[in-house]
């Protein structure tokens, strides 16, 4: 007899249902992660097992949207992990600013905090008239709509310096909007990273706190794709808890290991 939360058949039904309804292909996500997130919805809907929760999903049309929201965690804030941004500002930003044009991709951008943080750092290039484009993608349409509006609570701005707040935000209390001159620098688009990725090349790819949810084969595939999508000497930044898989260490030079900042390395020519 399967235990209530160990019934793989019913668990599979839920994932299939979700895939049909939302297009989210859960085969690329870590099973334990999916089970942990599902357990939250089981508790919230008073379901005792996956079978009961599957019935809820079929009965209540709103539930799959809530489940999708719980599966794709959107926690973020401006300049998340301040040390990473400091290190980036010291070791990478000056070099990138010298390039003739800059293309940046924030992959898994949540509500836009990450790409807008980058836009603030690169803003002076816009003033200098240098071509600068920041593409920000996420699987979640609701997030993208919020990101385009650029309205945030005070808690999201904790790491924003007073000077940046004056320059780049309008509002007061618990409602702050990113100014339109900064919003214009970022293009938000839907993209599911388990499928086709946006077209490169990029000078910088920031993919933080997204791949932790993915299976190792997908992480591996993405590391290869990022390498292909980066310009020579382009940079890649991962989340603090994400590590570069060992087989990719020859493809990326470590700019700062602790802060997960890497630079694309050229592959040695293949031997005949």
Residues lying near ligand SAM in the complex (CB under 6 A): 72-76, 80, 108-110, 114, 138-140, 143, 191-194, 208-210, 239
Comparing CA positions, the residue from 185, 224, 214 lying closest to residue 106 is 185
Choose between 73 and 93: whose C-beta lies nearer to ligand SAM: 73
Tabulate helix, strand, coil % of the chain (nearest 5). 45, 20, 35
Residue 84's alpha-carbon distances to 125, 158, 239, in angstroms, are 21, 15, 9
Q: How many CB atoms lie within 10 A of CB 95?
A: 13
Shortest Å distance, C-beta 129 to ligand SAM: 29
H or E segment to which residue 253 belongs: strand 252-256
CB of 214 to ligand SAM, least distance (A): 7
Rank residues 194 and 263 by Cβ distance to ligand SAM and give the closer one. Answer: 194
Least separation in angstroms between CB 207 and ligand SAM = 7
For ligand SAM, the closer of residues 24 and 42 by Cβ is: 24
Least CB distance from residue 77 to ligand SAM, whole Å? 7
d(Cα 242, Cα 261) in Å, to the nearest integer? 11
Nearer to ligand SAM, 48 or 187 (CB): 187
How far, in whole angstroms, is CA 146 from its chain's centroid? 15
Tokens for 106? 């924030």
Nearer to ligand SAM, 37 or 231 (CB): 37
Least separation in angstroms between CB 189 and ligand SAM: 11
Q: Toward ligand SAM, which CB reaches closer, 47 or 209? A: 209
Bond prior to 201 in cis (omega within 30° of 0):
yes
Question: Considering only CA atoms, which of 32, 20, 24 is closest in space to residue 69?
Answer: 24
Least distance (Å) between residue 73 CB and ligand SAM:
5
């Amino acid at each position: 007899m399967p235990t209530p939360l160990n019934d793989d058949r019913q668990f599979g039904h839920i994932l299939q249902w979700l895939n049909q309804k939302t297009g989210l292909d859960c085969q690329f996500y870590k099973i334990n992660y999916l089970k942990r997130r599902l357990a939250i919805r089981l508790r919230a809907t008073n379901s005792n097992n996956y079978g009961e929760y599957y019935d809820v999903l079929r009965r209540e049309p709103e539930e799959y949207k809530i489940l999708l929201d719980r599966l794709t965690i959107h926690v973020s804030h401006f300049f998340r992990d301040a040390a990473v941004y400091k290190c980036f500002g010291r070791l990478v930003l000056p070099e990138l600013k010298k390039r003739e044009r800059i293309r940046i991709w924030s992959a898994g951008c949540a509500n836009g905090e990450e790409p807008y943080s980058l836009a603030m750092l690169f803003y002076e290039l816009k003033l200098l008239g240098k071509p600068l484009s920041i593409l920000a993608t996420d699987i979640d349409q609701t997030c993208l709509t919020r990101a385009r509006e650029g309205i945030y609570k005070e808690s999201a701005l904790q790491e924003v310096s007073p000077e940046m707040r004056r320059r780049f935000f309008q509002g007061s209390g618990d409602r702050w909007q990113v100014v339109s001159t900064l919003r214009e620098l970022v293009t938000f688009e839907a993209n599911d990273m388990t499928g086709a990725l946006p077209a490169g090349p990029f000078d910088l790819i920031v993919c933080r706190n997204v791949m932790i949810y993915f299976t190792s084969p997908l992480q591996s595939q993405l590391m290869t794709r990022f390498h292909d999508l980066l310009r020579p000497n382009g940079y890649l930044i991962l989340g603090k808890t994400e590590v570069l898989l060992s087989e990719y260490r020859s493809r990326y030079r470590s700019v700062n290991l602790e802060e997960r900042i890497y630079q694309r390395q050229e592959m040695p020519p293949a031997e005949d």
